[in-house]
């Protein structure tokens, strides 16, 4: 199905599901004699709670759902909508208190009703969930610890909210409404089971094995893996996969890495890994024969989604990896279209895959521009950063019809995007890949 249509259908379904509990509220029997503010407070609480429930769907990495938007966009939405949902949930008790200040007694954890205790618990859990996500780095919570905490707090917050709604019993007040309500919670929790148990079980049946580890420039190590006893999978150049290393596919530790190899090879994959922390350091030290598990392909950053008469790839540092996938794929496809690769690093020794890029010129209409921040004294190519002036000099005349793919450090990507827009390149021709999802 066409991606745009599918995207609209998902958005329509999202709105329908978010508003469904309000419809359920209105199905008789409805409690009578309640003020507008109470009804509004309950409606907002339901909308917020449903949005929180849908958060479980958004992180389940369902390909039909992520296909129209890209998983990075879906995860960004997951982060941003969490704040909106929390606001709705917070407004729920605030409106109740404004209408009847004596209800403040319900906020006493030792007093109040069981319904209010669970409601209060849910709000506190949600506050903790959002705070630990927004301030994870400032709170110095390691990424993996945060992931476990995030799942735990999310499941608990959902369970507390569901108990709160069931105990309050004012709108979920018939057997069929209770059953519907519990079934929806069951479905959401089963998504966690799917992600943490079923998916790893499927991965265990399709293992991969490290067959080569070779240092590239700039502290980047290229890792080749091959499918063991299965036919691998198809991906689009520029996409990425979540990788788990070692004994068990049930580990919570998995990290995203872009494919660096040709999409025309489905049983042998390569990744270029730069050591930035624990996991990437361990990846760099992998030995041939080690088992790895792959969840993918994911992502919307691909030339296959942007047909054009030619391309400009702009990479900074380890952002070269998806570009390598673009280049090797285009070469394997015998693609004659012109390509400009602008690749910037700090020093010459940090340029990764430079020999491979040079060799690809034999098979592609490829022009390269290497840009070094700290060039050696005999450096003949570009110096400094990828600026608007450099782009103006180096971009081909037919720049307005080409598609631009940018991957690198965030400040560099922002500066390059700004410069391209200033040069009149349409926004719709520019594609960006962030290497930080959280």
Ligand X SMILES: Cc1cc2nc3c(=O)[nH]c(=O)nc-3n(C[C@H](O)[C@H](O)[C@H](O)COP(=O)(O)OP(=O)(O)OC[C@H]3O[C@@H](n4cnc5c(N)ncnc54)[C@H](O)[C@@H]3O)c2cc1C
CA angle 354-315-399, nearest 5°? Answer: 110
* Three-class secondary structure of residue 197 per DSSP: helix
406 binds ligand X (CB under 6 A): no
Q: Which is nearer to ligand X, 150 or 363 (CB)?
A: 150
Residues in CB range of 423: below 8 A, 6 or more apart: 388, 391, 392, 395, 399
Verify binding: residue 255, ligand X, rule CB under 6 A. yes
Q: Which of residues 109 and 246 has its CB atom nearest to ligand X in the complex? A: 246
Closest separation in Å from C-beta 242 to ligand X: 7
Question: Can you tell me which of 321, 328, 329, 354 binds ligand X, judged by CB under 6 A?
Answer: 321
Is the bond preceding 306 in cis, omega lying within 30 degrees of 0?
A: no
Compute how many other C-beta atoms are within 10 angstroms of the C-beta atom of residue 264: 13
- CA 320, 275, 345, 237: dihedral to nearest 10 degrees? 0
Whether the upstream peptide bond of residue 297 has omega within 30° of 0, thus cis, is yes
When binding is defined by CB under 6 A, the residue of 273, 357, 369, 390 that contacts ligand X is: 273
Please report, as residue ranges, which positions from 104 to 163 form the binding site for ligand X (by CB under 6 A).
143
Select from 46, 56, 235, 257 the one that contacts ligand X (CB under 6 A).
Answer: 257
Residue 437 engages ligand X in binding (rule: CB under 6 A):
yes
Which listed residue (27, 276, 288, 359) binds ligand X by CB under 6 A?
276
Decide: is 197 part of the binding site for ligand X (CB under 6 A): no
DSSP tag of 237: T
Q: Rounded to the nearest whole angstrom, what is the least distance from the CB of residue 224 to ligand X in the complex? A: 14
With CB under 6 A as the contact rule, the residue among 48, 200, 256, 316 that binds ligand X is 256
Tell me the number of residues near ligand X by CB under 6 A: 23
Q: How far is CA 324 from the centre of its chain?
A: 21
Helices (H), 59-113: 63-66, 71-99
Q: Which helix (H) or strand (E) holds 337?
A: none
Contact 312, 179 (CB under 8 A): no
> Residue 33 CB, nearest distance to ligand X (Å)?
50
For position 352 contacting ligand X by CB under 6 A, the verdict is no
DSSP label of 174: S
CB of 129: closest distance to ligand X in angstroms? 17
Query: Smallest gap, in angstroms, from Cβ of residue 8 to ligand X?
Result: 25
Q: Which residues bind ligand X (CB under 6 A)?
A: 143, 240, 254-258, 271-274, 276-280, 299, 318, 321, 435-438
């Amino acid at each position: 199905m066409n991606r745009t249509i599918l995207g609209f259908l998902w958005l329509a379904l999202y709105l329908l599901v978010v508003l469904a509990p309000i419809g359920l509220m209105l199905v008789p029997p409805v409690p009578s004699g309640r003020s507008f503010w109470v009804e509004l407070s309950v409606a907002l609480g339901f909308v917020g709670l449903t949005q929180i429930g849908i958060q479980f769907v958004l992180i389940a990495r369902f390909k039909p759902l992520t296909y129209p938007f890209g998983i990075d966009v879906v995860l960004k939405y997951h982060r941003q909508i969490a704040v909106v949902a929390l606001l709705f949930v917070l407004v729920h008790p605030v409106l109740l208190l404004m209408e009847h200040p004596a209800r403040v007694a319900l906020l006493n954890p030792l007093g109040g009703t069981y319904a209010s205790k669970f409601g209060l618990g849910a709000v506190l859990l949600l506050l903790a969930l959002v705070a630990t996500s927004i301030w994870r780095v400032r709170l110095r919570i390691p990424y993996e610890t945060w992931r476990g905490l995030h799942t735990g707090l999310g499941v608990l917050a959902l369970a507390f909210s569901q108990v709160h709604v069931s105990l309050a019993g004012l709108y979920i007040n018939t057997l069929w409404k209770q059953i519907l309500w519990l079934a929806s919670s069951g479905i959401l929790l089963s998504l966690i089971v799917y992600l943490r148990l079923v998916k790893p079980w499927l991965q265990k049946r399709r293992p991969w094995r490290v067959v080569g580890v070779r240092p590239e420039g700039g502290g980047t190590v290229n890792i080749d893996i091959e499918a063991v006893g299965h036919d691998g999978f198809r991906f689009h150049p520029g996409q990425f996969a979540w990788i788990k290393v070692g004994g068990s596919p049930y580990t919570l530790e998995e990290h995203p890495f872009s494919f660096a190899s040709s999409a025309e090879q489905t049983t042998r994959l390569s990744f270029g890994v730069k050591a930035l922390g624990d996991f990437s350091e361990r990846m760099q030290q992998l030995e041939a024969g080690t088992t790895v598990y792959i969840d993918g392909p994911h992502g919307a950053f691909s030339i296959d989604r942007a047909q054009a008469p030619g391309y400009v790839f702009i990479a900074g540092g380890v952002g070269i990896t998806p570009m390598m996938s673009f280049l090797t794929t285009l070469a394997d496809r015998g693609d004659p279209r012109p390509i400009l690769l602008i690749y910037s690093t700090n020093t010459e020794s940090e340029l990764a895959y430079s020999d491979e890029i040079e060799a690809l010129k034999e098979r592609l209409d490829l022009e390269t521009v290497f840009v070094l921040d700290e060039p050696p004294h005999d450096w003949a190519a570009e110096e400094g950063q990828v600026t608007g002036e450099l782009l103006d000099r180096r971009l081909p005349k037919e720049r307005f019809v080409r598609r631009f793919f940018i991957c690198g450090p965030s400040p560099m990507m922002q500066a390059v995007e700004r410069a391209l827009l200033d040069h009149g390149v349409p926004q719709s021709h520019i594609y960006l890949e962030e290497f930080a999802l959280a």
